[in-house]
Amino acid sequence: MNFEPYLEKAKNLNDAASYEILQSLQKEGLPTRKSEEWKYFSPSFLEKFENFELKNTTEWKKSESHLRAHISVNEKTYSGVQIAKTLTSQGRESKSSGFIRRFVSGLSFGTVSFVMDSETTDLDLNFSAEKAFQVLGAIEIQVPEKQKVRVHIKADEYFEELVSSVFFKLERGAELEVYAVEVNPTDGKSIQSLRVDLSEESEFRYVSVLAGASSKRNNLEVNLNGSQARCSLFALSISGKNEKLDNHFFINHNAPSCESRIVYKALVSGQAQVVYDGKVYVEKNAQKTDSDQIARGLILSDGAELDAKPSLEVFADDVSATHGAAIGQVDRDEVFYLMSRGLSEEEASKLLAFAFINEVISQIIDKELRENTKESIEKKFGKWIQEVAHVF
């Protein structure tokens, strides 16, 4: 891939940061499967993107406390610099889930700042294409002091290739809730990234339910930059057939007295391949850090694969941190316990399948969204869930 034209463009725009990134990209090229980070998911499809044009096509609609962003791109208008920025290295490469940092650094499709009277702002970020084709979108959002924002991130189910990136900056005491619920089976290939930087006393809550994506890379980076910032991440993957889902979560404790929690769950069946790579990094000055990370997976067929790699790197000495993974098949004792209370084998198995999923879904605070999510999982995967129940 030749980045020369974009180097030229960045130079003309006097964009030193982009220039630097593009330069290293020109030198190193796109990452390949040889790199540990890209072992399961090759970004080579990006080679096809040509004739990039830097153009802001984000459209914002605002009505009282509700804000909608439709980020759509026509066939031929891609932002080359943004792709470039997504793929270059910057910052503390070895420690972070490098790619995420590369992907999200310096994105600027549109910068939005919220100043609203209402207690909570709702924001829908919908990545879509006018035609069923490639979509590329990136956005940066700042949440001011003590404001609350609730965000729903969605991707159009008809895309072929999607690269999206969202970056939130939370000021002191700000609260952000992000819901990424996609239960539509899609054939497209996507790389979606979310980065959240937290100032002191701010809070970030993330709930994601990803089911039925045929090929997806899901990146999440959280930087706890101010003391007493908190984040909790709940994620559920449901994958079957030949689907590939590559999750990379990274939490960076850069300040003291912060809390982080990750609950990751996966149901993997068929020939699906799911990756969970969760890294929690605790800086030297991040004393009194409180961090928990758990990954649980159920493998439902011989051909299914789940690679879970929760990890923890601690450089501070006064820290409470745990991480763990539990992967396997369902315990017969659990089924027996429920049966001994009068539930039939089928009821017991369904309840356990539901319970496994519900540990994440129950974290959706909004009742309507929670019920809708349950319903759409039942609807789209009802048969499949029954199949799950049979395995118990």
Partner 1 sequence: MLDIQNLHVSVDGIPILKGLDFQAKEGEVHAIMGPNGSGKSTFAKVIAGHPEYKVTAGTVDYKKSNMKNIDMLGLAADERAKEGVFLAFQYPIEIPGVSNIDFLRTSFNSICRHQGVSEMNESEFRNFVSEKSKIVKFDSSFLDRAVNEGFSGGEKKKNEILQMAVLSPRLSFLDETDSGLDIDALRIVADGVNQLKNKQNAVIMVTHYQRLLDYIKPDYVHVLYKGRIVKTGGPELAKRLEEEGYDGIIAESEKVIQ
What are the residues binding partner 1 (CB under 8 A)?
331-334, 336-345, 347-348, 351-352, 354-359, 362
| In contact, 168 and 144? CB cutoff 8 Å | no
For the CB of residue 392, give the shortest distance to partner 1 in the complex, in Å: 12
For the CB of residue 358, give the shortest distance to partner 1 in the complex, in Å: 4
Return d(Cα 153, Cα 124) in angstroms, integer.
6
Which C-beta is closer to partner 1: that of 112 or that of 343?
343
Which C-beta is closer to partner 1: that of 117 or that of 333?
333
Which C-beta is closer to partner 1: that of 101 or that of 374?
374
CA 249 from centre of chain = 7
For the CB of residue 355, give the shortest distance to partner 1 in the complex, in Å: 3
For the CB of residue 338, give the shortest distance to partner 1 in the complex, in Å: 8
User: Per residue in 69-105, is it b (16+ CB within 10 Å) or e — as a string?
Assistant: bbbbbeeeebbbbbbbbbbbbbeeeeebbbbbbbbbb
| In contact, 391 and 353? CB cutoff 8 Å | no
Spatial strand order of the sheet with 213-224 comes to: 111-113, 135-143, 161-170, 186-198, 213-224, 244-253, 273-282, 305-314
For the CB of residue 278, give the shortest distance to partner 1 in the complex, in Å: 18
Return d(Cα 387, Cα 385) in angstroms, integer.
5
User: Per residue in 162-195, is it b (16+ CB within 10 Å) or e — as a string?
Assistant: bbbbbbbbbbebbbbbbbbbbbeebebbbbbbbb
Which C-beta is closer to partner 1: that of 30 or that of 369?
369
Which C-beta is closer to partner 1: that of 114 or that of 354?
354
Which C-beta is closer to partner 1: that of 321 or that of 343?
343
Which C-beta is closer to partner 1: that of 196 or that of 210?
210
Phi, psi of 145 (to 5 degrees): -45, 130
Return d(Cα 326, Cα 334) in angstroms, integer.
15
Return d(Cα 88, Cα 98) in angstroms, integer.
9
For the CB of residue 243, give the shortest distance to partner 1 in the complex, in Å: 23
For the CB of residue 317, give the shortest distance to partner 1 in the complex, in Å: 28
